[in-house]
Amino acid sequence: MEIIETYGFIFMVMAIVFGLYMTWGIGANDVANAMGTSVGSGAITVKQAIVIAAIFEFTGAFIAGGNVTQTIRKGIIDPSSITNSPEILVFGMLSALLAAGIWLMIASTKGWPVSTTHTIVGAVIGFAIVGIGPDAVEWGKVMQIAASWVVSPVLGGAIAFMLMMSIRRLILNTENPFQNAKRWGPAYIFLVGFIISLVTLFKGLKHLNIELTVGMSFLSAFVFGLVLAGIGKVLINRVEVDEESDREFHFASVEKVFTPMMIFTACAMAFAHGSNDVANGIAPLAAVVSIVQSGGEVAQESALPIWILVLGGIGIVVGLATMGYRVMKTIGSGITQLTPSRGYCATLAAAATVVLASRTGLPVSTTHIAVGAVIGVGLARGVGAIDLRVIGGIVISWLVTLPAGAALAALFFFTLKGMFS
């Protein structure tokens, strides 16, 4: 307790600095993956992507980032194991943040696979095992999280597959694809609005004190979807047939109809990413803050302060603004095989899956889900060539990132413990 009283302020400052560093890293590197499918298909430029991301990452973090943050902050560690020495949690969370931030930096410069989500989860588990004991970890929750890492890309792929098949049946394989694209386009935009708002608003938002019944949730989602569809219809109706491009590629005009649709999915994806990944930076920060402010009490039911969510959102946007452009350009240039119609399927599928995971409080890797979604489109015979070795790379990244995060966190934990006790 005394340690908290003496050094409380320093811990808070450290937590804020490290937290901001993490969110800055997320904004600089991770967002590019989320926006990659939208930029690569040529529907939006990198500049537009940055603006969209800046607005919607923040919104997603603020509105929907609460559940995942709570999971990382107190869902992984059993609080009863540290009631007597809460400073352990402080040291642990600080080291987790530091470890994740440093690992991100090292891996990025060396070109190793990097997942902010996996790193922070591994780091938290790492210091818990080493600093407290294996019993302190809520292994049930950890198993749930690990399962979601495998299930979420598959789910993303399944949704993308079904979307692709429906577009083919309703638009591409018909007698007049262009007309049908204009007809069904608004319906697909409605889908975007409906799914995202339904998942986000279902039964209300606790940390914003908004309560909604199941019925109201469906209703508001429905209305929101209609509004978006209306806006979309206006944009779509402006699209004209481009006869010259049509001669080279018969579906060129149809793809043009999908271009404004991709704006909506890009926003949805940024929202989803913000909702899931902001937690990686601010959850440990929130843990430290709540302990310091309560003078050493590890309160299980403490709510998430809004200012921390805001801080996380700002960190992401700053990271995006400073380094996001370059990274997005690199990734976007490697994904040009996606036409807008395919990009739409992959992006919406990924966004829906991530937002669902955020709702259920499960931290997932947006990048891996995006990969799953693209493979889903490929399985529907929608992409020229997909290199399946990427899957092997993903599995390796799981095996590398988790231990690395855990080991670094353990290292820093003992360092901090030594410095302050």
Partner 1 sequence: MSSTNPLANLFGKSPFKGLQVHMRAVLNCVHEIPILFAALEAGDQEKVVAAKDKIFEHESEADQIKNEMRGALPKSLFMPVDRRDLLEILQMQDSIADTAQDIAGMLVERRMEVPDFMQEPMKALVMRCVDACEQSAKIIEELDELLATGFRGREATLVEEMVEALNLVEDDTDELGIALTRLLFEHEDEMKPVSVMMWYQLIEWIGDLADYAEKVGDRLRLLIAR
Q: What is the DSSP letter of 136?
A: G
Q: Is 390 in the site for partner 1 (CB under 8 A)?
A: yes
DSSP state letter for 303 = P
Instruction: Give Cα 292 to chain centroid, integer Å.
Output: 28
Give strand pairing partners of 210: 205
Question: In this structure, is the dihedral angle defined by the CA atoms of residues 400, 402, 406 and 409, taken in order, positive or negative?
Answer: positive
Residue closer to partner 1, measured from CB, 2 or 175: 175
- CB count within 10 Å of CB 175 equals 6
| Interface size with partner 1, residues (CB under 8 A) | 48
Residue 37 is which amino acid? T
339 binds partner 1 (CB under 8 A): yes
**Residues present in the chain in total:** 421
Give the tokens for residue 20: 């901001």
325 counts as binding partner 1 under rule CB under 8 A: no
In one letter, which amino acid is 178?
Answer: F
- Alpha carbon distance 266, 53 (integer Å): 8
Residue 334 or 418 having the CB closest to partner 1: 334
The HSE-up count of residue 69 (CA atoms within 13 Å, CB side) is 34
Of 78 and 246, the one with the shorter C-beta distance to partner 1 is 246
CB-nearer residue toward partner 1: 207 or 342: 342
The footprint of partner 1 on residues 342-371 (CB under 8 A) is 367-368, 370-371
Residue 361, sorted as left (phi over 0), alpha (psi -120 to 50) or beta, turns out to be: left
- Give SS3 for 210: strand
Residues between 148 and 187 with contacts to partner 1, criterion CB under 8 A: 168, 172-175
Question: Is residue 320 at the binding interface for partner 1, with CB under 8 A as the rule?
Answer: no
Q: Which of 327, 351, 354, 364 binds partner 1 (CB under 8 A)?
A: 327
* Interface mask toward partner 1 for 80-119; x: CB under 8 A: ----------------------------x--xxxx-----
Q: Which is nearer to partner 1, 40 or 296 (CB)?
A: 40
The one among 65, 324, 378, 405 contacting partner 1 by CB under 8 A: 378
Positions in the binding site for partner 1 (CB under 8 A): 29, 33, 36-37, 108, 111-114, 168, 172-175, 249-251, 327, 330-331, 334-339, 341, 367-368, 370-371, 374-375, 378, 380-390, 393-394, 397
